[in-house]
Amino acid sequence: MLTAIVAIIVFGVLILIHELGHLVAAKKAGVRVETFSIGFGKRIVGKNVGGTDYRVSLFPFGGYIKMAGDDPSEFSGGTDELGSKPVGKRFWVMASGALTNYIFAFILFSIVFMVGIPTLSNEVGEVLKGYPAEEYGIKVGDKILAINDTETEYWEDIVESIKKGSIGGKALDLLIERGNRKVSLRVKPDISSVTNIFGQTVSRPMVGIAPKNKIISVSYNPFQALYFGGKRLLLLSGTTYKGIWLLITGGMPVKSSVSGPIGIAHLMGRAAQLGIVPLLLITAHVSMALAIFNLLPFPVLDGGHIIFLFLEKIKGSPVNIKMQEWITQVAVIILIAFAVMVSWNDIMKFTPLGSKIGNKNVAEVSTSE
């Protein structure tokens, strides 16, 4: 029940923010907005302001916006219709929803860094057998204070310093706190083959240590939080685009790598059980993903509409309406088929039905280094 409630609220807020972006851009472009609805279905209550019916509808999940002339088949040539506006203005109306989701993700990430981002400490929780850490005397409970004179206050600092310091097969100078004393060790990492988050086998330097399962909360001042929030957003955006490219090119399996609303709702429920900060983090991730997904150059999505605008700009006239409708219908069928496939995989992975059927093809995600 908690998972369902959290998912409805979070998805509802993110969809509403998306539609608010379209609303503001449309109003600014001089497009008449006929309806702005919180929820779907039958109109329950509302008020007409400036020619727009702001309403609350029966099913309070997200919302939608109806602009005059947004459907090419309904375009009558009115100056306040979307189709009558220059390509540039229509572009911003189409892109504004995704842009608003992206900005919202940035705000949420920044808030989390200001409130306190969950982070692993620099304490070693496990020394892997057969790796250099065991050979050179690193012990469980050691705190790695610095690598090559670079301070390593958190585990992510350790990972980054090992990666940078090992270029060219170089040894690493570690400063370790062991009990009440400090110990200096020189360790040369092995180059090992590991599986990354995309399921690819890559080579990387390995010392052979894993973090202690000790989460600490690290907070920053507002200016630092904005910087780290933006940095996290850009890093995750790059990772997301790389994942999309690998899916398209066959470098990553769709079945085990993509989750839909059911899988995302499952993660939201787990995050909510851990507290407000994990929930804000997953919400920021989903808001960013919605922005990126909506701008993909696929008909039906905002990115598909932008492609039609791009073609219109090149040829000097709109793409034939019947052609647009045909392409859109085909795209809807493909999108529905993809959604069904992803949802079925989610059901197998995240619901009791999957356990009853005895699905053995679900990949376990490991958090060990």
Q: For 99-135, what is each residue's pLDDT tens digit?
A: 999 999 999 999 999 999 999 999 999 999 989 999 9
Residue 365 has pLDDT above 70, yes or no: no
pLDDT tens digits along 149-178: 999 999 999 999 998 888 878 899 999 999
pLDDT tens digits along 5-36: 888 889 889 999 999 999 999 999 999 999 99
Average of pLDDT values for 325-330? 88
Query: How many other CB atoms are found less than 10 A from the CB of residue 31?
Result: 25
Residue 69 has pLDDT above 90, yes or no: no
More confident residue, 208 or 359: 208
Query: How many other CB atoms are found less than 10 A from the CB of residue 200?
Result: 11
Give the three-class secondary structure for 7: helix
Q: How far is CA 293 from each of CA 22, 23, 40, 192, 304, rounded to the nearest angstrom? A: 16, 20, 22, 34, 11
Domain ranges across the chain: 2-32+68-116+229-357, 118-218
pTM of the model: 0.85
Beta bridge mates, 182: 177
CA pair distance 12, 6, nearest whole angstrom: 10
Residue 231 has pLDDT above 90, yes or no: yes
Query: How many other CB atoms are found less than 10 A from the CB of residue 105?
Result: 27
CATH number for 118-218 (one of 3.40.30.10, 3.90.850.10, 2.30.42.10, 3.20.20.140): it is 2.30.42.10
Q: Tell me, what amino acid is at 20? A: L
